Chain A
């Protein structure tokens, strides 16, 4: 079923919307949650919470053109939040590795107060990503948005792991310089 028709079902408050959403996007959403939590049962819980939040968010939102991105954003946020609540170093080792990497993009990583909200930061990073080649952009997004492992990214794009690591390192450095140049205070 087309994304627009699924959104119409949500807008019409028809429960079939959940069924069709699960059929079309369930696997992808579970995969994102499982990447973060490394726990398939918890990933399924996050997936169900995502459907519930989507049910509450449509309307007012009408993501006809980007339904997957809309749902993926929700599941990603729920999964990251759950991972933080668990507060287990062992369980979130993967996440700790990722946060250490991404901290290199932040001009002042020790600042506890955020002076920039999520939407503005999203716009800034989107602007930076649009300047990169499609290949680099997708590698960056697979790592820091979909939270894929380096091994998984290298397999997906047919690169060696060292090439992926080098690409990511350069992207982080360039993003940091870009944010400083654009005057973002983080």
Chain B
């Protein structure tokens, strides 16, 4: 049988299948909305994670001006005991090598901590 004949005889395919194929498919509208929703979720999750990460990374920058150096050591585990007296603190820290690499300035204390290594 030649291709043309075969193609012509395909005309006898059941009517319900022909009717079904004549209707426009709806599925892809739903799939499109799903893809957009998935992209939106991905972007929002990315933004949330980035913002949260940045907050954790720059905690020191949000240190309130009213806090003193003693407060810093009180709320961060540095292994240094906290004293209320400035003189005692100065004595304690005179030969102390701070356990961090950055230079830190605490408003009100008048001291600049630098790593001496």
Contact = CB atoms under 8 A, between A and B. Distances in A.
A170 B49 CA distance: 44
Q: Tell me the dominant secondary structure on chain A's binding face.
A: helix
Contact of A118 (B9, B21, B24, B31): B9
Interface residues of B, number: 28
A183 interface: no
Contacts of A119: 12
B9 A109 contact: no
Contacts of A108: 1
A134 to B, nearest CB: 7
Contact of A102 (B6, B17, B27): B6
B21 A146 contact: yes
Q: Tell me the dominant secondary structure on chain B's binding face.
A: helix
B3 interface: yes
A77 B11 contact: yes
Interface stretch (A4-12, A46-54, A68-76): A68-76
Interface string B1-33: 111111111111111111111101101100110
Interface in A47-70: 63, 65-66, 68-70
Interface string A130-154: 1000110110011011100000000
Contacts of B21: 137-138, 141-142, 145-146
A112 B21 CA distance: 31
Nearest to A121: B9
Given A80-B7, A98-B7, A157-B28, A103 B2 contact: yes
Closest 5 CB pairs of A and B: A122-B12, A99-B3, A66-B15, A69-B15, A103-B3
